[in-house]
Amino acid sequence: MLKKMLSLSLLITVFLFCFTAGCSVLGGGDTVDIDQMELLMKDAESRVSSIDWNSESPGNIRAQLSAAELQFSTVFDTLSEANPDNEDDTRRIYALRTMSCTYLELVTSMRELANVVEHRDNADYYAAYYEEENWLNEMKASDAALASARNKLHSAQTRINGVNMNLVPLFMQADIIELKVEIEQMNILMTNLAEEYAKVLS
């Protein structure tokens, strides 16, 4: 059992390393600066990508995710009320709304992943003192959080994969593709991690 504890702890460490190592008019008549919304989203993206999953506490990670979530939500809600008066703005808003909504679901998945880490850390503590029952309880809680994270990641993946690239401006298509790749990589890593959990907890 101790061998299983240590091997799974190592696998999660590898997983986290890979994971770390990516103007229109509103209905009310007020103008919206699309450039400003895009900058706000990029700031939120940077906030998420700068999280160090190997060294930061789960609580701090959740705090950063909540801050990013607020920014993504602001972008999505603001642009959802926009009534663009030209095709270029329509395409930009479509892309930004799709990406911000996808990121909202991705952040929710990451928040569950922070719970995975927290329970894993607790399990490591109990493993060090050979408290098998407590270790098992924490591992089961970590596994449940991982299942939830995978479900929410699937929602994000479904949304971004459903984007109509014909409606996305050419200069923004690389951003869509990059987000798709990031989510797919997370999906592969989470799937591998879930398989290892299944082996340990069987």
Do residues 172 and 95 make contact, with C-beta atoms less than 8 angstroms apart? yes
Give the span between the Cα atoms of 163 and 96, in whole angstroms: 11
Do residues 168 and 94 make contact, with C-beta atoms less than 8 angstroms apart? yes
pTM for this entry: 0.85
3-state secondary structure 35-64: HHHHHHHHHHHHHHHCCCCCCCCHHHHHHH
Residues pairing with 32 in the sheet: 24
pLDDT in tens, 55-103: 999 999 999 999 999 999 999 999 999 999 999 999 999 999 999 999 9
Residues 6+ apart with CB under 8 A from 140: 201
pLDDT in tens, 123-165: 999 999 999 999 999 999 999 999 999 999 999 999 999 999 9
Q: Which of 80, 73, 61 is nearest to 145 (CA)?
A: 61
Q: What is the pLDDT of residue 6?
A: 52
Give the span between the Cα atoms of 172 and 181, in whole angstroms: 15
**Residue 24 reports pLDDT greater than 70:** no
